[in-house]
Chains A and B, each alone.
Chain A
């Protein structure tokens, strides 16, 4: 048995196992967004994803004793899991559009494509010699996968809500990557990222309302017809 144990990868510690588990949850939520047919369920998934990111930050803060991260976890919990989804839900409520039916690819093909993308992301990032004090290195590869899958969501769905949610969830991926690479970074930098996100929310909110006001739909297909 000991000769066998030498060639198998080491068992991750309970800390890194749990942290990786939460990072995987973030990635799986990005995949679920690809599948979700309704705009509302996408927003709910985004709220859940942000919750997972906040939980990851809180978990790292608690087990690695990084005080700054508590503030980051709290801020992202309040902003990304409550305020942003709330704003999106309100805009959706005014628009009275529920099922978006905007998939350009079938769900199975989109998921397979996303699997290929995440494998690519994981292998590219995995070959970088990055190690981190705060989080296990696998989380970085997973963060890259989250960013790519969210990018795919923006590409394959042609409605404003999916594109907004995809953009925000790319930001979630960047947050996870930030936790791995630079959890010692001054809090002010992280907070600046969060306020960047708030600007994006305002822009997307205005886009959704104006677009829906003009075209009576949230689909971006209609944008082709807006030639002056």
Chain B
């Protein structure tokens, strides 16, 4: 056992492993959150593995295409899924040290890829002529634009703290000392990013995650017209996006501990387990929020965005003040 744990992995292998971790764990984390949510609300809830069964079922189903839909309808889900596969190469999923491809894109690069994924899904939804899909995609684009200023200011905060905007450096800066982990600018940015994640994963103050009521839908509404394997890709992709955002939240901002410091197999496997535990912890927080708040009215969502923006701006202000005049 000790011999196996001491096997040294090559860096590309770890990089591929990051992708596979996100790919494999994402549906399970979604299932676990749905299960916790159901338990909190006094229901028995679906099995934790239910999303895997759903995906397997959808991949076997036939694909129905709306009239007038062109190739964009198919390309959208595939492009989105590809983007979600690229992002884990850029962020600290398993290792504390930057992997070779980690330098290929910074936080902005990852943000662009996530935005491209959202755009392609919205484009595919706009192809369909389905009113609810188009409603969902137009809303999703509107709110994505409104949350953008907060994301920018969080990026500025990271840039000022680390003089780079690579997520690995931000994580390292937070690990450096206790004072660095509790410095107000970092706490504010982390809190703002928490609100951004809440918005981007379609959680309760913004959107009801598992409702069937089309009028309240934002992200969920976009995929109503899809079926079969493309729909499976969309569902899998949204679970991966959720896990990617959780990884950014815990491994960069909130708790950048428990990452592998070497290339040996043992620490890497431990890092996978730690990631799973941290993702489930974040999921539990989100499940509690889901069960204890009510959804905001659509026109009140700007208040939520304003709160996230306020926290991000305060982070920059505190940093400016800390410069000493």
Contacts and interface: CB of A to CB of B under 8 A. Distances in A.
A17 B163 contact: no
Contacts of B324: 137
A138 B302 contact: no
A17 B182 contact: yes
Interface in B160-219: 160-164, 169, 176-180, 182-184, 187-188
Given A108-B305, A115-B313, A11 B179 contact: yes
B180 A11 contact: yes
A14 B178 contact: yes
B103 interface: no
A141 B317 contact: yes
Contact of A21 (B162, B177, B184, B313): B184
A63 interface: no
B317 A4 contact: no
Q: Which of the listed residues A11, A20, A129, A136 has the most CB atoms from chain B within 10 Å of its own CB?
A: A11
Given A4-B162, A115-B309, A14 B182 contact: yes
Interface string A140-172: 011001000000000000000000000000000
Interface stretch (A120-128, A186-194, A200-208): A120-128
Contacts, number: 92
B62 interface: no
B115 to A, nearest CB: 23
A24 B307 CA distance: 14
Contact of A128 (B161, B164, B188, B325): B325
A111 B303 contact: yes
A133 to B, nearest CB: 15
A28 B312 CA distance: 12
A24 B314 contact: yes
Contact of B184 (A7, A20, A127): A20
A141 B306 contact: no
A205 B63 CA distance: 69
B318 interface: yes
Contacts of B303: 35, 107-108, 111
Contact of B322 (A10, A21, A24, A35): A10
Nearest to B178: A14
Q: Chain B: interface residue count, which band? A: 35 or more
Contacts of A136: 322
A20 B185 CA distance: 10
Given A21-B187, A24-B184, A126-B320, A8 B305 contact: no
Nearest to B321: A138
B155 to A, nearest CB: 15
B96 to A, nearest CB: 14
Given A13-B179, A17-B183, A126 B313 contact: no
A145 B300 CA distance: 25
Q: Which of the listed residues A14, A108, A126 has the most CB atoms from chain B within 10 Å of its own CB?
A: A108
A155 to B, nearest CB: 18
A136 B322 CA distance: 8
A17 B306 contact: no
B56 interface: no
B306 A8 contact: no
B323 interface: yes
B300 to A, nearest CB: 8
Contact of B317 (A17, A106, A111, A118): A118
B62 to A, nearest CB: 45
Given A20-B184, A137-B324, A8 B161 contact: yes
Nearest to B183: A17
Q: Which of the listed residues B180, B182, B314, B321 has the most CB atoms from chain A within 10 Å of its own CB?
A: B321
A9 B323 contact: yes
Contact of B164 (A4, A106, A142, A145): A4
A67 to B, nearest CB: 27
A71 B130 CA distance: 67
Contact of A9 (B160, B176, B177): B160
B317 A12 contact: no
A126 B325 contact: yes
B182 A119 contact: no
Contacts of B306: 107-108, 111-112
A17 B178 CA distance: 10
A223 to B, nearest CB: 29
Q: Which of the listed residues B161, B164, B314 has the most CB atoms from chain A within 10 Å of its own CB?
A: B314
B67 to A, nearest CB: 40
A31 interface: yes
A18 B182 contact: yes
A23 B221 CA distance: 42
Contacts of A57: none
16 contacts: A9-B323, A10-B322, A12-B183, A14-B182, A17-B182, A108-B303, A108-B306, A112-B309, A115-B310, A122-B317, A126-B320, A128-B325, A137-B321, A137-B325, A138-B318, A145-B317
Kindly list the 10 A-B residue pairs having the minimum CB-CB distance in the complex, ordered from nearest: A138-B321, A108-B302, A111-B306, A108-B306, A20-B184, A4-B163, A11-B180, A14-B179, A141-B321, A21-B184
Interface of B: 160-164, 169, 176-180, 182-184, 187-188, 300, 302-303, 305-307, 309-310, 313-314, 317-325
